[in-house]
Each structure stands twice: as structure tokens, then as C-alpha cells.
Amino acid sequence: MSVKIRLARFGAKKRPIYRIVVADSESPRDGKFLETVGTYNPLLDPVEVSFKGERVNYWIDQGAILTDTVKNLLKKEDFFATKETEL
């Protein structure tokens, strides 16, 4: 089982809100996931991103792979500034 940290779409039609979730790489985008570690709301100005840093670190240490989109969101929030090496 390969685990990824990725976005899952929620919200109404044309009003998306995304959850940052830890999920098996083979499950559907909005399907079963292991844990919710944050949210992303692209409709607000400025864009709102919130996440549980300690849980993201835990899953990265367990071998979870960040998708490119989630990696870029975390970079914008300076998540990797506290780590010695950047992913």
C-alpha cells in the first residue's frame, strides 16, 4: 500500500473546498482516506490553507508521498522552512 498526501474535493458545485488527506494511492480522489490533515479554500482572497504540521511530518516520516499540488501549497506556507532538507 503506497500512501499519498493529496487533495480531496468537497463543497458544492462551482464552490470547491479541498481537504488535504492521507490516502492509499489506489483509492479514488474523493473516496476512502486514512486521515484529514488540513484544508484548502481557493475561493477566498487571499487563499486559505490550514494544516496540522505535526501530522504531516508524521506521515512524511512514515513514507507518505506528497503530490505536487500539496507540496506547492506547503511551500507557500513555509512548511519546509523548519526542516533541514526540503523534499
Residue 22: HSE in the Cβ half-sphere, 13 Å Cα cutoff:
20
Residue 59: HSE in the Cβ half-sphere, 13 Å Cα cutoff:
24
pLDDT at residue 29, rounded to an integer: 84
List, in order, residues 6 or more apart from 48 with CB less than 8 Å away: 39, 40, 41
% of residues, the chain, pLDDT over 70? 92
Q: 70 or 79, which is more confident?
A: 70
Residue-range domain boundaries for the chain:
3-81
Quote the pTM value.
0.85
Its CATH architecture, for the domain 3-81, is 2-Layer Sandwich (3.30)
Nearest to 71 by CA among 38, 43, 46, 44: 38
Nearest to 66 by CA among 27, 34, 20, 35: 20
Q: Which three cell numbers stand for residue 75?
A: 511551500
Q: Which position has the grid cell 499519498? A: 4
